[in-house]
Chains A and B, each alone.
Chain A
Amino acid sequence: MSAGDGLEYVGASRIAGPIVAVERVREAGFDELVEIRDPSGLRRLGRVLEVSRESAVVQVLEGTDGLCGTTLRARFLGESLRIPVGEEMLGRVFDGLGRPADGGPPPFSGDRRDVNGAPINPVARRYPREFIQTGISAIDGMNSLVRGQKLPVFSGNGLPHDRVAAQLARQAKLPGEDGRFCVVFAAMGVKRDVADYFRRDFAGSGALSRTAMFLSLADAPGVERLLTPRAALTLAEHLAFDLGRHVLVILTDMTNYCESLREVGTARGEIPGRKGYPGYLYSDLASLYERAGRVEGSPGSITQTAILTMPSDDISHPVPDLTGYITEGQIVLDRGLFQRGVYPPIAGLPSLSRLMKDGVGEGYTREDHPALASQLFACYAYVKRVRALADIIGEEELSALDRRYLEFGEALERRFLSQGEREDRPIAATLDLGWEMLSMLPRDELRRVGAGLLDAHYGRKPGAPPAGEGKDGAA
């Protein structure tokens, strides 16, 4: 590593929040890494947010607590933040900046990567279309996940998003999968309990040795969180695209990340956008979320699940809103379902997987899958309308057909959406269950399904082999 000009600058002209301004700096670069030392010898890392001939504005990643403007010493390190990457990092725990936090030695690796990564050339991407079976009916049946997709979980405080994410990490596999699967977990500003929950869960399922954890917990300085997902994704890129592993990246909780971004923006005196978040929140989030997918020339993949808690369950809050514009769909958890004891409480209608269309159907899951999913959505949407009507005129006043819809909706939530936390439903079982639900409605109501598929699946007794193809149904 070249050590910049090797000069140490003493004192700062201004300290505000996580920001330190150093004057009369020679030869500092934008985004350069800075080492800040206080008289006790404690070292902190920072990076340059803005530089001019007169001064450099430095964001101190480990917070400015206890720093003194006249005694601090800053040294510019001549490069942007890099972390070592290597397969031996699996099974280890790191802090938010990618340094060992489990008492073990620093990873031995000659390969150090810039945490900012570089944009993938869209021409070099491989379009994701391998169906991943998660064993969760609400996802597999109606919002299928494919390898290389970025599918976040929109949740609220108190909802079981951690359990859903852990179940995903435990169960997600390609049918007939090998052992190239691994997990990179990044925690931003969550409590230690949450990190411990995931750790225990990974240990319980034997996945810990295939998991690298980057923890910037609630008690860590806020700005450190801005680097944590970047460090995690840098390792994930190495594992996926250099070593050909299939990586599941779990980022939790993105709301905390965005709040740190807002904190830095405010401290710099930037013009705030919606709800005080900086105007570049979209671009910044995109620089994380777009680091997922598959590229030509590598067998590996990065599948991303970012968890975020929507403040007051508001899906139009800037964080979920901008996330939804970047990610390829979203899994939305619903408080109403949760309160009625439905697990996983995955809301039927606002959840969406944009890549589903290319990863399901004939040759991927089963030929009836797309039509079935579309019909389930349409019928469930009608259920919501009937429920609203029943609230006003009373259930007794509903037509016989509408009452059948109510029964269908209840069954869908209780039997199709609901399942055990350890229950791993094969895709065939999910699809058959879906048909069982639809068969509660009159055949003429199923307008989204062609006659051929209706003949094969409508009204068939559960467990009986489907007309024409015995193999899938028997699984």
Chain B
Amino acid sequence: MTDRYAKGRVTAVSGPVVSADGMAGARMYEVVRVGGLGLVGEVVRQAGDSATVQVYEDTSMLRPGAPVELTGAPLSIWLGPGLIGNIFDGVQRPLPELKRLSGAWIRRGDRADPLDLSRRWDFEPLLKAGQEVSPGQVIGLVRETPLVTHKVMVPPDMKGTAVSAVPAGRYTLEDELAAVRTAGGTAPLRMLQKWPVRTPRPVRGRLRVSEPLVTGQRVIDSLFPLAKGGCACIPGGFGTGKTITQHQLAKWSDAAIVIFIGCGERGNEMTEVLREFPELKDPRSGRPLMERTILIANTSNMPVAAREISIYTGITMAEYYRDMGLDVAVFADSTSRWAEALREMAARLEEMPAEEGFPASLPSRLAQFYERGGAAIPLGGGKGSVSIVGAVSPPGGDFSEPVTQHTRRFTRVFWSLDTELANARHYPSINWLRSYSDYLDEVGESAEKTCPGWRGLRDGAVEALQREEHFRQVARLVGPDALPDGQRLHLFFGGLLRDGFLAQNAFDPEDSWCPPEKQGALLGLLMEFYRAAGELIAAGTPLSDVAALPCAAALVRAKTDLRGTAELAALRERMRRELASLGRAGRGEE
């Protein structure tokens, strides 16, 4: 064993890539400590007794000859109570704790335990001495936050008989809660588990997704829904509102746990989340959103190798909560920065580049990441899911670039953000002609329960928007006044649908979150107006008369002006009266 921990020596340094020799016995992706400061790194390549290490911290002033120490373990994170409400960097250093230790700037070599080992948690045991234990079995409960009951589980690789178990009480993460006699001897069970981030946590089986992830965003829930356990891609050039859309989803999604990974993005955006989430209330429980949220922040100026690992850190935490039978949503902003970190590391390792300098392994790395999403039966039974929403920042807004293209292959929802819409400050700037959702059939049954007739309304709205685009093209050539009223109705209604339904103001307290029932009622109203207006115009009523109806203006403002379903029902009655009287006038009955 002494040999395994023999010290290697640095032979070369080039940014985050460090070469060392004397590394015989190192394993791929094993964690090493480099130099006097003990910088954290991972073995990424071996040749003879030399190894290449990617280092997660700034390597300034690191010299050849500096010691390299093997730790014997792959990069693992701590799992246990205390994750929720916390904010970590890409290698799970707790940022509030680092701030306490060393102030406003992150210094190299700063160390802190990811979770507080001194804190005692109220533990309610579910296991008695003498019981059999199997992987994933829940041995007790901890109230992690008012929103989250944390299930303490048997690690996936442990099986045997409990020889002892503690009574209810207050315990730390490291206290022994039970002792288990396994084939290999007696092992302790604790709240704290460790899991290597690059390895997916095992499940008993995969499930077909069936529930929609309700986000409260009309264009998403009503037109292009995501399933719990599904994966979505949000590509958009800069300024198209990717981050705001991601924030909106993280705020309002009806997942039990939300994990937000700020991967190579702006520092102030993470600060914004930190400032807002404790203040915002979950519309379903009335509790602060932070009580169900974990943040991973590896901002653009933090070390690039840690950016690469940050999305694995986030997804591993997601799998851990999924194993408790919870629905978890992961938001990664932005996976392009992650891919660029891969590219930067590959270039420093002098790998042969494939498309646009990205390593040839990019598609398989993306596939592996998105494949960790899904609905599943955890080892301990029940049902849990991990949904993943990955933002993509294509250079120059060009969607034909490799990260967008490959992400598209492995996700089934595509919310395409549009510069033109963003320029007109139409948010969310999700382009309804280029976006799609492949979960319509899966979530249909469940969606119809909250909103009867949803699928018909949805298909009707998408068709109306396509028709609008068609006649808009024509109008661009001949002018809108040259079109007959029947065709101009599509233009008029398209505008109504855009302003009255698709555009949603994230900063308006009433509009920021739209409950699914209201979405259905609103869309129903709009589609009914469209159908009735079409009939009136076919019977000879001029479009100008239809457009001038007071209810048309009220429809546009209904999303913010009207609150309950009763008010919407009143508007429906009013609309029917106005349309009917216009019809009678058209037939000369009045």
Which residues of A are in contact with B by a Cβ distance under 8 Å? Answer: 27-32, 49-53, 79-80, 114, 116-128, 148, 241, 270-274, 279-280, 282-283, 286-287, 289-291, 293, 295-298, 316-318, 321-322, 324-326, 328-330, 349-350, 352, 354-355, 357-358, 370, 374, 377-378, 381-382, 388-389, 392-393, 397-399, 444, 447-448, 450
Query: Which of chain A's residues have a CB closer than 8 A to the CB of B340?
Result: 279, 282-283
Query: Which of chain B's residues have a CB closer than 8 A to the CB of A280?
Result: 304, 344, 347
The 10 A-B residue pairs with the shortest CB-CB distance in the complex, in nearest-first order: A316-B396, A52-B12, A286-B300, A381-B424, A324-B238, A124-B104, A290-B301, A30-B13, A29-B61, A122-B270
Instruction: Select B553's contact among A270, A325, A388, A444, beta carbons within 8 Å.
Output: A444
Q: Mind listing 19 A-B residue pairs with CB under 8 Å?
A: A50-B12, A52-B64, A116-B58, A119-B302, A123-B95, A272-B357, A287-B301, A297-B104, A316-B395, A316-B397, A321-B237, A324-B239, A325-B393, A352-B239, A355-B268, A381-B423, A381-B424, A389-B475, A398-B479
Query: Which of chain A's residues have a CB closer than 8 A to the CB of B87?
Result: 122-123
**Known contacts A51-B12, A290-B266; is-contact A447 B104 (Cβ 8 Å):** no
Query: Which of chain B's residues have a CB closer than 8 A to the CB of A79?
Result: 61
Find out whether the CB atom of B398 lies under 8 angstroms from the CB atom of A118: no
Instruction: Select A282's contact among B14, B239, B337, B347, beta carbons within 8 Å.
Output: B337
Complex Cα spacing A123 to B426, Å = 31
Residue of B nearest to A25 (CB): B64
Instruction: Select B343's contact among A279, A290, A355, beta carbons within 8 Å.
Output: A279
- Kindly identify, within residues 83 to 99 of chain B, every residue whose CB is under 8 Å from any CB belonging to chain A: 87, 95-96, 98-99
Chain A CB within 8 A of B275 CB:
yes
Complex Cα spacing A29 to B14, Å = 10
Find out whether the CB atom of A125 lies under 8 angstroms from the CB atom of B267: yes
Residue of A nearest to B552 (CB): A444
Query: Which of chain B's residues have a CB closer than 8 A to the CB of A399?
Result: 480-481
Complex Cα spacing A50 to B476, Å = 58
Find out whether the CB atom of A279 lies under 8 angstroms from the CB atom of B344: yes
- Kindly identify, within residues 2 to 34 of chain B, every residue whose CB is under 8 Å from any CB belonging to chain A: 11-15, 19
Residue of B nearest to A381 (CB): B424
Query: Which of chain B's residues have a CB closer than 8 A to the CB of A118?
Result: 105-108
Chain A CB within 8 A of B425 CB:
yes
Chain A CB within 8 A of B564 CB:
no
**Known contacts A121-B98, A290-B299, A290-B300; is-contact A350 B239 (Cβ 8 Å):** yes
Instruction: Select A349's contact among B262, B393, B424, B560, beta carbons within 8 Å.
Output: B424
Query: Which of chain B's residues have a CB closer than 8 A to the CB of A122?
Result: 87, 95, 262, 267, 270-271, 274, 297, 299
Residue of B nearest to A33 (CB): B61
Distance (whole angstroms) from the CB of B361 to the closest CB of chain A: 15
Query: Which of chain A's residues have a CB closer than 8 A to the CB of B300?
Result: 282-283, 286, 289-290, 326
Distance (whole angstroms) from the CB of B543 to the closest CB of chain A: 12
**Known contacts A121-B95, A124-B103, A447-B556; is-contact A274 B274 (Cβ 8 Å):** no
Complex Cα spacing A241 to B105, Å = 11
Query: Which of chain A's residues have a CB closer than 8 A to the CB of B271?
Result: 122-123, 125-127
Find out whether the CB atom of A119 lies under 8 angstroms from the CB atom of B301: yes
Query: Which of chain A's residues have a CB closer than 8 A to the CB of B478?
Result: 393
Query: Which of chain B's residues have a CB closer than 8 A to the CB of A293?
Result: 267-268
Find out whether the CB atom of A30 lies under 8 angstroms from the CB atom of B479: no
Query: Which of chain B's residues have a CB closer than 8 A to the CB of A374?
Result: 425
Find out whether the CB atom of A119 lies under 8 angstroms from the CB atom of B106: yes
- Counting contact residues on chain B (CB < 8 A from A), the size range is 35 or more
Known: A119-B299, A444-B553. 4 other contacts (CB 8 A): A30-B13, A119-B301, A282-B340, A321-B395
Find out whether the CB atom of A53 lies under 8 angstroms from the CB atom of B61: no
Find out whether the CB atom of A316 lies under 8 angstroms from the CB atom of B398: yes
Complex Cα spacing A51 to B425, Å = 50
Query: Which of chain B's residues have a CB closer than 8 A to the CB of A352?
Result: 239
Find out whether the CB atom of A450 lies under 8 angstroms from the CB atom of B395: no
Query: Which of chain A's residues have a CB closer than 8 A to the CB of B274?
Result: 122-123
Which residues of B are in contact with A by a Cβ distance under 8 Å? Answer: 11-15, 19, 58-65, 87, 95-96, 98-99, 103-108, 237-239, 262, 264, 266-268, 270-272, 274-275, 297, 299-302, 304, 337, 340-341, 343-344, 347, 353, 356-357, 393, 395-398, 423-426, 475-481, 499, 507, 553, 556-557, 560
Find out whether the CB atom of B105 lies under 8 angstroms from the CB atom of A120: yes
Find out whether the CB atom of B480 lies under 8 angstroms from the CB atom of A349: no
Find out whether the CB atom of A321 lies under 8 angstroms from the CB atom of B238: yes
Residue of A nearest to B97 (CB): A123
Complex Cα spacing A352 to B104, Å = 29
Query: Which of chain B's residues have a CB closer than 8 A to the CB of A121?
Result: 95, 98-99, 103-106
Complex Cα spacing A448 to B511, Å = 12
Complex Cα spacing A31 to B16, Å = 12
Complex Cα spacing A124 to B176, Å = 35
Instruction: Select B60's contact among A31, A128, A350, beta carbons within 8 Å.
Output: A31
Find out whether the CB atom of B63 lies under 8 angstroms from the CB atom of A51: yes
Complex Cα spacing A370 to B505, Å = 11
Find out whether the CB atom of A28 lies under 8 angstroms from the CB atom of B63: yes
Distance (whole angstroms) from the CB of B53 to the closest CB of chain A: 13
Residue of A nearest to B341 (CB): A283
Complex Cα spacing A352 to B221, Å = 28
Residue of B nearest to A315 (CB): B396
Query: Which of chain B's residues have a CB closer than 8 A to the CB of A272?
Result: 357
**Known contacts A121-B106, A280-B344, A282-B337; is-contact A325 B396 (Cβ 8 Å):** no
Query: Which of chain B's residues have a CB closer than 8 A to the CB of A286?
Result: 264, 299-301
Query: Which of chain B's residues have a CB closer than 8 A to the CB of A378?
Result: 424-426
Residue of A nearest to B65 (CB): A27
Find out whether the CB atom of A30 lies under 8 angstroms from the CB atom of B60: yes
Complex Cα spacing A370 to B266, Å = 23
Most B CB within 10 A of own CB, among A30, A122, A126: A122
Find out whether the CB atom of B356 lies under 8 angstroms from the CB atom of A31: no
Instruction: Select A450's contact among B106, B344, B560, beta carbons within 8 Å.
Output: B560
Complex Cα spacing A325 to B397, Å = 11
Distance (whole angstroms) from the CB of A272 to the closest CB of chain B: 7
Complex Cα spacing A330 to B239, Å = 9
Find out whether the CB atom of B347 lies under 8 angstroms from the CB atom of A49: no
Query: Which of chain A's residues have a CB closer than 8 A to the CB of B425?
Result: 374, 377-378, 381, 448
Find out whether the CB atom of A389 lies under 8 angstroms from the CB atom of B479: yes
Find out whether the CB atom of B14 lies under 8 angstroms from the CB atom of A30: yes
Complex Cα spacing A273 to B347, Å = 10
Distance (whole angstroms) from the CB of B59 to the closest CB of chain A: 5
Query: Which of chain A's residues have a CB closer than 8 A to the CB of B107?
Result: 118
Residue of A nearest to B102 (CB): A121
Distance (whole angstroms) from the CB of B566 to the closest CB of chain A: 21
Complex Cα spacing A53 to B9, Å = 10
Residue of A nearest to B60 (CB): A31
Find out whether the CB atom of A328 lies under 8 angstroms from the CB atom of B357: no
Instruction: Select A120's contact among B14, B59, B104, B341, beta carbons within 8 Å.
Output: B104
Residue of B nearest to A361 (CB): B507
Complex Cα spacing A317 to B397, Å = 11
Distance (whole angstroms) from the CB of B577 to the closest CB of chain A: 21
